[in-house]
């Protein structure tokens, strides 16, 4: 189970770190993300964007304390999913800026990605419930690359899904 916990921590920590980095790497990137928050009043968009990015960075950093990091990750992903679902339901067409510039509008693909990330949170939490010995070097040599590979797939998830979906989001 500790292998699963480490892989979950690495995957979620990487996803949240990349998400925060793509928003905080420059003022222009933070402003571009803020402009995508169309459901937030305009005067509050920049502070909201900074808050989201700071929350993502904190979640990534707190993955070293899995009981806190996993809970914060679950809450954050739940909130993101709720916002995406509301935007989709209201017909709001805005590009996903989860991991930097993207032409893909928020939609079902992003809800699926968040559901997969929530599954990783749940798996990590399950692993916490059944503690074992600390993972050895061999387990870490498997868990860390597995977590990184999973993170890469989930970060690029909307691009990967775009290979199989038409412009309307259908297979």
Rounded percentage of the chain residues whose pLDDT exceeds 70:
96
Are 125 and 70 a contacting pair, CB within 8 Å? Answer: yes
pLDDT in tens, 22-45: 999 999 999 999 999 998 999 999
* Residue 136 confidence (pLDDT) above 80: yes
Q: List helix spans (H) across the chain.
A: 2-24, 27-35, 45-61, 66-90, 108-129, 137-155, 157-162
**Torsion angle defined by CA atoms of residues 171, 169, 80 and 128, in that order, rounded to the nearest 10 degrees:** 10
pLDDT in tens, 73-100: 999 999 999 999 999 999 988 888 888 8
Q: What are phi and psi of 37, to 5 degrees?
A: -85, 60
What token pair was written down for 59? 């979640």
What token pair was written down for 19? 């998400």
Pick from 7, 30, 148, 15: which is nearest to 74 by CA? 15
* Residue 57 confidence (pLDDT) above 70: yes
Q: What is the pLDDT of residue 171?
A: 47
Q: What is the pLDDT of residue 103?
A: 77
pTM of the model: 0.91
Q: What is the pLDDT of residue 109?
A: 92
């Amino acid at each position: 189970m500790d292998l699963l916990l480490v892989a979950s921590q690495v995957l979620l920590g990487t996803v949240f770190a990349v998400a925060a980095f793509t928003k905080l790497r420059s003022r222009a990137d933070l402003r571009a993300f803020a402009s995508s928050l169309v459901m937030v009043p305009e005067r509050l968009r920049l502070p909201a964007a900074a808050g989201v990015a700071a929350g993502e960075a904190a979640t990534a950093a707190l993955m070293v304390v899995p009981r806190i990091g996993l809970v914060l990750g679950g809450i954050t992903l739940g909130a993101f999913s709720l916002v995406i679902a509301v935007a989709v339901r209201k017909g709001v067409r805005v590009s996903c800026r989860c991991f930097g510039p993207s032409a893909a509008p928020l939609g079902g693909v992003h809800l699926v990605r968040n559901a997969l990330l929530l599954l990783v949170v749940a798996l990590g939490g399950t692993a916490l419930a059944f503690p074992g010995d600390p993972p050895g070097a061999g387990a870490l040599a498997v868990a860390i690359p597995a977590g990184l590979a999973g993170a890469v797939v989930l970060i690029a998830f909307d691009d990967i899904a775009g290979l199989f979906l038409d412009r309307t989001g259908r297979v």
